[in-house]
Amino acid sequence: MFDPTAEQLELAQAVRDFCHAEIGPTVKEDDEHERFRKELIGAMGAMGFCGVPTEESWGGLGLGYLDYVVVLEEIARVSASYAVSVAVTGLPQIILRMFGDDAQRAQWLPALAQGQALGAFALSEASSGSDAASLTTTATRHGDDYVLRGTKLWCTHGGVADLYVVMARTGGPGPKGVSAFLVPGDAPGLRGGKKEEKMGLRASPTTEVVFEDVVVPASSRLGPEGTGFRVAMAALDSGRITSGAVATGVGQAALEFSARYATEREQFGQPIIDFQGVGFMLADMAARVDGGRLMVRRAAWLRDQGLDYGQAAALAKLVATDAAMAVTTDAVQVLGGNGYTREYPVERYMRDAKVMQIVEGTNQIQRLVISRQIKARYRA
């Protein structure tokens, strides 16, 4: 069911060719120097990679989520940082398509889908991580405007985004007091704060975002007041699928590199892949990558069919990201001492894979979500 079609294979090849030609030559240098090249997002947007599931009428390719995860996996095989950037720019598009009105879509969707605008999602705060409903950033109504005050953390594209989807409190405590807003990156009072010095995804900027009396019109609110938490949770469901796709791409890259290494590296007069300790490890790595890929594609397929995909997305994110962490760790082990050096890419794969177990809800939260769904399903 999830074997790629001829069209998907052609799309994957186009992504692969672009990434190897345009991202591959400097991926190591970008990682070392924490350099983000925004122009690459524009180039990928021009190829259609930034707006795969967005309708053609709004500037996208009008394809399915299954096509989208194929694209993200291919980008991640070369650079997880840029795969995450494409996915994060895709998140406001998903939100606009689900919750925006036509004026909001017309203003933002074409630029986002074509890579001419960079998107960001601002939810997490210092005291609001897994407990997202406890956020304290406020949006206070003043006539036809709202005034936003607060600080967001862990914002991909913070300080460089053209559009932020911001969750802010317009009412009382808890999820019913949260609303969602579209905030332009050049809004007076909005600025990027401290840049995080990260272990992985070093070519993707992550910063605080500070809102100091940022005024936005009421027309920038997504849906009625009090529905922002629903917007955030719907976005996270979709984001869990894309996180799984990125993790799968990283795991595939680690598998391919370590397998080639194991066929070329000789000890005791034979390739190390011929030793069961290495060969069986590679077999387990292949099984984990393929298992994660199938889970991700199943969740994407369910989404494309208009079926309930919430649990499938949580399962896909859990399985694929745990698989990527295990596979990249084993890749370092296959290379031995060489794997621990920056001369080889497997240590970067391992660093990049780790964060995929944390973003879009930690894997502990995914287990909580899944266990609650199991309880509801099998309750006597």
- Write out pLDDT tens, residues 287-322: 999 999 999 999 999 999 999 999 999 999 999 999
**CB-based contacts of 53-58 (< 8 A; 24+ apart in sequence):** 53/90, 53/93, 53/94, 54/90, 54/93, 54/97, 54/109, 54/112, 54/113, 55/97, 58/97, 58/105, 58/106, 58/109, 58/110, 58/113
**Confidence grade of residue 376 (pLDDT, cut at 50, 70, 90):** confident
Please say if the pLDDT value at position 1 is more than 70. Answer: no
Q: What pLDDT sits at residue 132? A: 77
Write out the catalytic residue numbers: 360
**Which CATH superfamily does the domain covering 230-378 fall into?**
Butyryl-CoA Dehydrogenase, subunit A, domain 3 (1.20.140.10)
Side-chain-side CA neighbours of 113 within 13 Å: the count stands at 25
Please say if the pLDDT value at position 129 is more than 80. Answer: no
Q: What pLDDT sits at residue 76? A: 98
**What whole-number distance in Å separates Cα of residue 327 and Cα of residue 254?**
7
Q: Record the pTM.
A: 0.95
Residues 6+ apart with CB under 8 A from 170: 138, 139, 140, 141, 146, 177, 178, 179, 225, 226, 228
Please say if the pLDDT value at position 337 is more than 80. Answer: yes
Neighbours of 260 (CB within 10 A): 11
120-226 has CATH 2.40.110.10 classification:
yes
Question: Which has more confidence, 148 or 379?
Answer: 148
Please say if the pLDDT value at position 130 is more than 80. Answer: no
Which of the residue ranges 329-333, 354-358, 369-373 would you say has the lowest mean pLDDT? 369-373
Extents of the domains making up the chain:
6-117, 120-226, 230-378
**Confidence grade of residue 131 (pLDDT, cut at 50, 70, 90):** confident
**Confidence grade of residue 380 (pLDDT, cut at 50, 70, 90):** low
Q: What pLDDT sits at residue 377? A: 85
Under CATH, what is the fold of the domain 6-117? Butyryl-Coa Dehydrogenase, subunit A; domain 1 (1.10.540)
